[in-house]
Amino acid sequence: MIPVREALADLADEQREFAALLGALQDADWPRPSAADGWTVADQVAHLADTEEVAADTLADGPRAFTRTVPRYATAEDFTAAGCRRGDGLAPGDLTAWWDHAAARTRRLLAERAPEDRVAWGFGMNTETFAAARLMEHWAHGLDIRDALGLPVDETPRLRRIAVLGHATLHYALAMGRVRRPQVRTLRLELTGRDGTGHMVGPADATDVLRGPLLAWCRVATRRVRGSPAAPSASGAPAAEGELTAEGELTAEGELAELAVLHARAYL
């Protein structure tokens, strides 16, 4: 159970940081545009509250479980938009309470799971990966708020989980981008934190290598690169294709590494 407990502890820490961010906002900040095109700050919180409800019901096999809820919508974007609209008209305190209650329920249910348990989210994943995915969502949407309001972005050891997730989902990301993965190519990430700590993800004998700052890769993997034409849209996907600002920070050696910078996405 240690891996799940560690992932759950990181998720709890990320959500505490998100709660602190919300607590520092002024009432006038909530209707302001976030860094995601078409989303307000309030939309970001409503989206997380809604998806935490779905996450909890997925773990509990409840009525809003992923496999029961998402297919009701024509597209994933429609599901996401509907979740945001559930927050319309709610005061900041009510939005925060909604999110906090849903997130706490998800954490409680995750704590009851064993590492090998499967979670029916997307194409399915184990408990530890699911906790990392929820961490990634909170970091990414918190980043949308911080970037829009000009707030600093701290770097924590939790970013390694996002880095690993971005690497693990690369095959899916290329499929979503309708890009054929190069044959017989593997990828290693050699990332460096602001404190100089090195983070290696992927096989030591990989054919391709991507080097650069840990934060830069996490921004690319979540499609949240400041000032880029590939900034996230209301669906969470890039608004348009284009060169990423972070390319200047990441050095790609090999075709798969280059494709990772262009197409990585750690979310569904």
| pLDDT tens for each residue of 200-215 | 999 999 999 999 999 9
Average pLDDT over residues 117-134: 95
Q: What is the pTM of this model?
A: 0.91
Checking if the pLDDT of 243 tops 80, the result is: no
Instruction: Give every CB contact of residue 228 below 8 A, 6+ residues apart in sequence.
Output: 242, 243, 244, 245, 246
Token pair belonging to 156: 């924590």
- CB burial of 237-249 (b: ≥16 within 10 Å; e: otherwise) equals bbbeeeebbbbeb
Laid out side by side, the sheet with 187-192 consists of 198-201, 187-192, 208-213, 251-253
What would the pLDDT profile of 164-217 be if each residue is shown by its tens digit? 999 999 999 999 999 999 999 999 999 999 999 999 999 999 999 999 999 999
Residues making up the chain, counted from first to last: 268
Where does the pLDDT of residue 242 fall: very low under 50, low under 70, confident under 90, or very high at 90 and above?
A: very low
Environment class of 186 (CB within 10 Å of its CB; exposed 0-12, middle 13-18, buried 19+): middle
Where does the pLDDT of residue 227 fall: very low under 50, low under 70, confident under 90, or very high at 90 and above?
A: low
Q: What is the DSSP letter of 247?
A: G
Instruction: Give every CB contact of residue 160 below 8 A, 6+ residues apart in sequence.
Output: 199, 201, 214
What's the mean pLDDT when you consider all of the chain?
A: 91
Of 129, 244, 253, whose CA–CA distance to 187 is shortest?
253
CA 2, CA 8: separation in Å to the nearest integer? 10
**74 or 233: whose pLDDT is higher?**
74
